[in-house]
Amino acid sequence: MKAHLTRRYMFSASHRLHSDEMSAEQNRQTYGKCNNPHGHGHNYTVEITVSGQVDEQTGMVCNLADLDSFVHNHILERYDHQNLNLLAEFAKQVPTTENLCIAIYEIVKRGFLKAHLEKVRIEETMKNSFEYAGDL
């Protein structure tokens, strides 16, 4: 019996949307106010969805404490209160929330082996959310 588990986490981070491959004018046109040289911040909500067989003994897809510990150690500790532009994974790409979603997906996919990763969803604002479920 397969089931899905979605767990929600929150962190705050800043970023500036800017591409060195584009001119200053192209950056302003593409990213608007998000191209502010001083950056801006968000209170991100991240949802991690995993799936698997329901363990007959525990009745769970995976232990929530294991997932929480992994996310705390590998996601929240890495991104909370950081300027995303200064992190290695964004040295050569714009730290859009789409790219942040993919980066978090890859971290969880490589490291959390106690359940199958289905998707990562990030809510950036009340109007913007992004989801990544891996390459198809």
pLDDT at residue 45, rounded to an integer: 98
Number of domains in the chain: 1
State residue 136's pLDDT score.
62
Q: Convert the pLDDT of each residue in 16-59 to its tens digit.
A: 999 999 999 999 999 999 999 999 999 999 999 999 999 999 99
Q: Do you know the residue count of the chain?
A: 136
32 occurs within a structural domain:
no
Q: State which residues form the domain around 79.
A: 2-13+41-132
Active site amino acids = 34, 81, 124
Give the CATH number, domain containing residue 83. Answer: 3.30.479.10
Q: In what order do the strands lie in the sheet containing 82-83?
A: 82-83, 2-15, 40-53, 116-123, 129-132
Kindly state whether residue 68 falls inside one of the protein's structural domains. yes
Distances (CA, A) of 30 to 20, 40, 42, 73, 114: 13, 16, 19, 34, 40
Which amino acid appears at position 83 of this protein?
A: N
How high is the pLDDT of residue 1?
82
Give per-residue pLDDT as tens, 84-125. Answer: 999 999 999 999 999 999 999 999 999 999 999 999 999 999
